[in-house]
Amino acid sequence: MSGTPFQCYLVAKDNSGNVQPKITLRSITELPPGDLLIRVQQSSLNYKDALAARGHSGVAKSLPHVPGIDAIGTVLESESEDWPEGDKVLVTGYGLGSDCWGGWSELIRVPASWAVRLPDELTSHEAMALGTAGFTAAQCVASLQHHGIRPDTGQVLVTGASGGVGCLALSILAQLGYRVVAVSGKPAAHALLRQLGASQILDRKEVNDSSDQPLLPSRWSAAVDTVGGSTLSTIVRSLGHRGCVAACGLVGGVNFETSVYPFLLRGVTLDGIDSAACPRPERLDIWKRLAGDWKPQHLDLLTNVISLSDIQPRIEAMLHGNLTGRTVVDLSGC
């Protein structure tokens, strides 16, 4: 195996110091250390991958780098008794596609502690259609439940609703009986959002209050926020008594302002979601739920499958907030 070059999407600097991604062949000796050598069948496109493809140093810790925070494939070589050769293996988060080379590659090498067994009820394709986006959406829903938000508590807001995390959070919540208000900047996605179960759709501008009012009228009982910035500030000030927002994203900004009043006067909870470092017992529980009654019914409707050579325009669209749903990257034909 050691002499065989493999295909990957490599982000590197050219002679002028500009970041230049390209699809190229690399040697197996360049892979990071790890117990499992995996032939990747599919990966996916997440916002973090789009940043890594641009060489963003917050994600791609060093260059050259291979993005791809999700991967499913087969164990080719193993130094772990738990993972014999030929086993199907799922990896999302940890350092994949961030601290170390990721899943936009025919081969990856990872520690066995990152490997998760694919639940019987999920196909490989479904696991990547969900990927980190679905995992994060499910973590957000679990967070709201943990904080006492039930279907009869009131409406739940989902921002960035046509994006990967957003549409999967919307699907799961609607399936569980919650009344979901979807926030989207894409009129063209309204039909899809309704199909996924949105009971109401708001434009992004309607959840973006730039006033310095410490509290706004109570509008929702809870929220899944993928946007951050002033959207998150607006949500925190607009939640009802004992409301909760699961904050997971930053597409609209990394800083946000609030006073302590929503926390002191309304008992609002702001719960941060970190999928990459999710502890293993919780990780397995989330995948179990995603394979069970949280599995979105309309996964096919919101998923596109592409090859590595078609990924560039999708990265650009994602970085401009123009992508809808999920993108699975098929590496089986490499």
Ligand X SMILES: NC(=O)c1ccc[n+]([C@@H]2O[C@H](COP(=O)([O-])OP(=O)(O)OC[C@H]3O[C@@H](n4cnc5c(N)ncnc54)[C@H](OP(=O)(O)O)[C@@H]3O)[C@@H](O)[C@H]2O)c1
Instruction: Kindly tell me which of 149 and 183 has the beta carbon lying closer to ligand X.
Output: 183
Does position 46 interact with ligand X (CB under 6 A)? The reply is yes
DSSP state of 105: B
Identified binder of ligand X from the candidate list 109, 186, 283, 295, rule CB under 6 A: 186
Does position 125 interact with ligand X (CB under 6 A)? The reply is no
Residue with tokens 């596609």: 97
Does position 130 interact with ligand X (CB under 6 A)? The reply is no
Q: How far is the CB of 228 from ligand X (least distance, A)?
A: 7
- Cα(78)–Cα(314) distance, integer angstroms: 34
Instruction: Kindly tell me which of 186 and 298 has the beta carbon lying closer to ligand X.
Output: 186
Q: How far is the CB of 311 from ligand X (least distance, A)?
A: 14
Does position 111 interact with ligand X (CB under 6 A)? The reply is no
Token pair of 332, please? 């089986």
- Rounded to 5 degrees, what are φ and ψ at 289? -65, -40
Query: Which stretch, 70-78, 84-92, 162-170, 308-316, contacts ligand X (CB under 6 A)?
Result: 162-170
Instruction: Kindly tell me which of 78 and 234 has the beta carbon lying closer to ligand X.
Output: 234
Q: How far is the CB of 6 from ligand X (least distance, A)?
A: 26
Q: Which residue is nearest to ligand X (CB)?
A: 163
- Cα(134)–Cα(140) distance, integer angstroms: 10
Cβ–Cβ contacts within 10 Å for residue 260, how many? 8
Does position 179 interact with ligand X (CB under 6 A)? The reply is no
Instruction: Kindly tell me which of 95 and 163 has the beta carbon lying closer to ligand X.
Output: 163
Strand ranges for the chain from DSSP E? 6-13, 19-26, 36-45, 70-78, 88-92, 107-110, 156-158, 180-184, 198-203, 220-225, 239-247, 269-272, 303-307, 326-330
DSSP state of 189: G
Does position 251 interact with ligand X (CB under 6 A)? The reply is yes
Identified binder of ligand X from the candidate list 165, 169, 172, 246, rule CB under 6 A: 165
Residue with tokens 């130094």: 79
Does position 252 interact with ligand X (CB under 6 A)? The reply is yes
Strand ranges for 149-279 from DSSP E? 156-158, 180-184, 198-203, 220-225, 239-247, 269-272
Contact positions toward ligand X, by CB under 6 A?
A: 46-48, 132-133, 136, 160-166, 184-186, 189, 204, 226-227, 248-252, 273-276, 318, 321, 323
